[in-house]
Amino acid sequence: MTNDETAVAGLTRGDGTPVRVLVVDDEPDLAEVLSRVLASEGWAVRTAGDGAGALAAARDFLPDAVVLDVMLPDIDGLQVLRRLRADAPDVCVLFLTAKDAVEDRIAGITAGGDDYVTKPFSLEEVLARLRGLLRRAGMARQADAGGCSPSAAWPWTRTPAR
């Protein structure tokens, strides 16, 4: 790992707690692999296999970022995004989906997604894109940096269940 990679791997929330990422995908094996990789970054991770589960998990977990599939068994990812944004307009959303047509990518970004990655994908690319989204949104800081305020993604002041 280079010095640059070491610096970025230490992202935390503004209050020093681990970045929270919700992974929403109806492919359990993919969700598990992605969760393990994100957890190896020191991030807190939850998963959901459908849209309703994603919305419930988001209300409970209060994620800083959501990795969201478009094709879910109950509510499509675009609708999940709209509902997430109603509660947390600043949460970072990265679409991770097999829908790879230009129109699909445009629809995802136009609907409010912050980034769009198509399957098959590189785990390193997804990590890099998540890090970039979190940094640009001001929701994460390097572990050795100081003076940042806590994440503003979720308006609630309660402590999420662990």
CA distance 98 to 88: 26
For residue 137, the model assigns a pLDDT of 87
Measure the CA–CA gap between 44 and 152, rounded to whole angstroms.
Answer: 17
Structure tokens at 143: 């572990």
pLDDT at 10: 66
Of 86, 43, 97, which is closest to residue 65 (Cα–Cα)?
A: 43
Q: What is the DSSP letter of 151?
A: P
- Show pLDDT as tens, one digit a residue, over the chain (162 residues): 333 333 344 688 888 999 999 999 999 999 999 999 999 999 999 999 999 999 999 999 999 999 999 999 999 999 999 999 999 999 999 999 999 999 999 999 999 999 999 999 999 999 999 999 999 988 755 543 332 233 444 433 233 443
Question: What pLDDT, on a 0 to 100 scale, did the predictor assign at position 11?
Answer: 85
d(CA 112, CA 76): 14
Helix ranges (H only) for 10-143 are 28-40, 51-61, 77-87, 102-110, 123-136
